[in-house]
Structure 1
Amino acid sequence: MGVFKIEGGVPLKGEITPQGAKNEALQILCAVLLTPEKVIINNIPDIIDINKLITLLGNLGVKIQKNGPGSYTFQADEVNVGYLETEAFKKEGGSLRGSIMIVGPLLARFGKGYIPKPGGDKIGRRRLDTHFEGFINLGAKFRYNKEDHFYGVEAPEGLTGAAMLLDEASVTGTANIVMSAVLAKGTTTIYNAACEPYLQQLCKMMNAMGAKVSGIGSNLLTIEGVESLGGCTHRILPDMIEIGSWIGLAAMTRSEITIKDVSWENLGLIPNVFRKLGITLEKRGDDIYIPAHTDGYEVKTDIDGSILTIADAPWPGFTPDLLSIVLVVATQCKGDVLIHQKMFESRLFFVDKLIDMGAKIILCDPHRAVVIGHDFKSRLKATTMSSPDIRAGISLLIAALSAKGTSTIQNIEQIDRGYERIDERLRAIGAKIVRA
């Protein structure tokens, strides 16, 4: 396994451009299965999870052509649905969380979809009930093999539109159900639908292919089924999680950084949450400029003077993927912050590594942590640590870049799953980081 060697305490300076959004790409790539015509997708991030999904599509028989950096043409005109029942697929699909989203389009177009229990981050239980209950509502028959954790849905006579109320506003669940409903007979309504920008992008792409999805951006989607979809060209948004990561990096290293082409209108509460931590952000066109916080940053308490609480919530609430970053940034703020991670019960367990570095953190329970800021009066200390998941991994990397001394981060494949050539891009703005 690879490791990062990081010399911390070095101020950074320059411009950094966010990669294409990982979470959007996982949905968009699966949607190419809905049509036999060519689909061109631009701004695809070159990261492990996305490359695994592209390989999986190729093994399913999708024709793939690379047009240039981040640009591919896909054509699913000779899909081998039989591959879904092979041992090779069980192994391949089980290694990638995003593989669950091939089920909806395959079910819609070919009448069946199978998937092994998906892998991904070990951040707690991530239920699949919303996906399969949606398919069942559309008329699919569900089966589950407990011995090898293999899921299947079948609808040989096709799907029929239905009205449904989701038990949770799952982003991947909503995406999967919408992709299955666009080719169903009749009209489908989905209430309590997720409305994240990435889901909006998926709906807009399918409409460009000939689908009839309305209510985009709201929690009530209406889908009028069509007989077939055609090709299109689509560009993936910049990754809001990476943008938040660079904001946190600039604050922790007290660096002057400009984040280019961030698509401000799709950032939601992200800028405001970092401003609550006392971080200065300037909107310059479609860029974010962060000055060097040489005097630190002070937390803004609530109106009544109580401790600032930052919690995750479905869009337009604050994304759970950035709570790990916020927690690390809070270790050097002036003031105290309560971090409340509602969605995943294991995502805060990486704080023991920050405590080893000298951070003052009280882990109240699996979902809540109180961070007592150092105000840069006591620097974090370098250490050796291992990356448990993508978001904790980047958080530990940010901590190491701000720490005194040389840190080692192991299991960096977890970071590579979500961040494209991160060591090269950080070195370009002055970071002393080596991949060994």
Structure 2
Amino acid sequence: MNTFQIVGGNPLHGNFHPQGAKNEALQVICAILLTSDLVRIKNIPEIQDVLILIEILKTVGVKVIRNSKGDYTFCSEEIDFDFLKSKEFRKNGAQLRGSIMLLGPLLGRFQEAYIPVPGGDKIGRRRLDTHFQGFISLGAKFLYDEEEKYYAVTAEELQGNYILLEEASVTGTANIIMASVLAKGTTQIYNAACEPYIQQLCKMLNSMGANIQGIGSNFLTIEGVEKLRGTEHTILPDMIEIGSIIGLAAMTKSEITIKNVSWKNLGNIPDTFKRLGIHIDKQEDDMHIPAQEHYKIQKFMDGSILTVSDAPWPGFTPDLLSIILVVSTQAQGSVLIHQKMFESRLFFVDKLIDMGAQIILCDPHRATVIGLNQEIPLRGTMMTSPDIRAGISLLIAALSAKGTSLIHNIYQIDRGYENIDGRLRALGADITRVKI
């Protein structure tokens, strides 16, 4: 089992280059199934979840060429539907949650799609109703084999429709968009997710010949077309990794410059960290975080305690709440963290409490953090990473802590962060990957 051994308490320094966005990569890579032409995608993060998805695509007949690091060309001229129905595919497809987004493009192009119950982070209930209700609204038939844990959607012909989403699901929106672009007539999606990932997917599809209006809003209008062509697409820098490094710089009192962050696609992420008292400077398209001995949490205008909560875009992304929580443990002041979307994502705080953090877990969705103001450092300990975002949060805590920490199950971190130990060592971090 791979483990990170970390000696904390050392300030870091240097330039950090963020990887391509994981969540965007999973969507746009699935979108290559909508055409038989060549599709080239650049800035793909070579992380476990993305590499597994690429291998799954290969098994169903997609030809894949790795032009260089992070640069791939795909061709899905022929798809093996017999393999899609096989037990081997059920095993492969169950490895990650992102495999659910194979359904939309397969259904849109071939009028049939099959997928096992997807895997992914264990962060509470993550319903798939939004996906399947959208497909049904387009005229598809839905089948769930409870014994085999297997989904199937089929249609004689998809027909555009007005769809009001029950929730602004990012992957659900992506799946319905991909099913709609080749459907007959007009599809309108209201309460659509509008994250930069979705915007990028829509822009890529339009470059392939789709007709999608309302990009960047929660109301999308899609005029179905008969065929899509090939294209070339570049993935945005990963805003979750950018936020993680902001937190790392603050916790370790480090001066770090994050290169080419695509400021216009970061939403309120920088401002949320600024409310914790963290200085952030904009230098063209770079982000500079100067070394700070202390940072003070702001209060609301009426003097009440600050609450940081997640919300659909352009609200604060839930993927960074774990980072905000960890960073708050060494701030001056207190903050209430309200994780609305997932009921199991805050359970990693017991590991931070073991390190000396002052945290009250109010319920599965809320935690109050009383900052230590960098006066009492966290202490090194042995931990296990439960999911991607909690894993990187524990890694940040360990890098700020006094003494040595061990983090087991780092596969969870590798799923979302490419060569994170190597890139952190380049900043001066004392982190080693060991087998225990």
Query: 2:273 is matched by which residue type in structure 1?
Result: F
Q: 2: distance between equivalents of 1:83 and 1:326?
A: 43
**Counterpart in the other structure of 1:315:** 313
Equivalent residue for 2:297, pick from 284, 295, 299: 299
For residues 309-340 of structure 1, the C-alpha deviation after alignment (integer angstroms, 9 at most, x for no partner) is 00000000000000000000000000000000
Residues 404-433 of structure 1 show CA distances to partners (whole Å, capped at 9, x for unaligned) of 001000000000000000000000010000
Following superposition, the deviation at residue 75 of structure 1 comes to: 0.4
Which residue of 423, 426, 430 corresponds with 2:424?
Answer: 426
Counterpart-to-counterpart distance in 2, 1:164 and 1:158: 17
Which residue does 1:326 correspond to in 2? 324
User: Equivalent residue for 2:211?
Assistant: 212
**What amino acid maps onto 1:364 in structure 2?**
C
SS at the partner of 2:341?
A: coil
Query: What is the Cα deviation at residue 79 of structure 1?
Result: 1.2
Alignment match, 1:112: 112
Q: What amino acid sits opposite 2:236 in the alignment?
A: L
**Ranges in structure 2 where 5+ consecutive residues have no aligned partner:** none
SS of equivalent to 2:344: coil
1:41-89 C-alpha deviation (Å, 9 max, x unpaired): 0000010000000000101100100100100000000111221110111
Q: Which amino acid aligns with 2:13?
A: K
Q: What is the CA deviation profile of residues 172-194 of structure 1, one whole-angstrom value per residue up to 9, with x for unaligned ones?
A: 00000000000000000000000
C-alpha separation in 2, matches of 1:55 and 1:343: 30
Tell me whether 1:141 sits opposite 2:141 in the alignment: yes
1:274 equivalenced with 2:273 (yes/no): yes
2:158 match: secondary structure: coil
Q: Any idea what SS the aligned residue of 2:274 has?
A: helix
Q: What's the CA shift string for 1:119-140, capped at 9, x where partnerless?
A: 0000000000000000000000
Match of 2:7 in 1: 7
Separation in structure 1 between the aligned mates of residue 46 and residue 184 of structure 2, nearest angstrom: 37
Could you state the TM-score of these two structures normalised by the residue count of structure 2?
Answer: 0.99
CA distance in 1, matches of 2:312, 2:89: 32
2:158 matched to 1:164? no
* Runs of 4+ deviating beyond 6 Å: none
Q: CA deviation at 1:115?
A: 1.0
The residue type paired with residue 388 of structure 2 is I
Q: Deviations over 1:157-210 (max 9, x none)?
A: 220000110000000000000000000000000000000000000000000000
Aligned-pair identity in percent equals 68
1:36 and 2:45 are equivalent in the alignment: no
Match of 2:337, as an amino acid? I
1:33-432 alignment runs, 5 A limit: 33-155=33-155, 157-294=156-293, 296-432=294-430
User: Cα offset for 1:238?
Assistant: 0.2
Quick one: which amino acid aligns to residue 236 of structure 1? I
Secondary structure of 1:130's counterpart equals: helix
Match of 1:26 in 2: 26
Aligned equivalents of 2:3 and 2:196: distance in 1? 33
Cα RMSD after superposing both structures: 0.4
Read off the aligned partner of 1:257 and give its amino acid letter. I
Query: Distance between the aligned counterparts of 2:415 and 2:250, measured in 1?
Result: 24
- Give SS of 1:119's match: coil
Count of aligned pairs between the two proteins: 434
Find the aligned partners of 1:18 and 1:411 in 2 and give their Cα distance: 23
Q: Matched residue of 2:221: which SS?
A: strand
The secondary structure found in structure 1 opposite 2:215 is: coil
- Cα distance in 2 for partners of 1:129, 1:109 equals 21
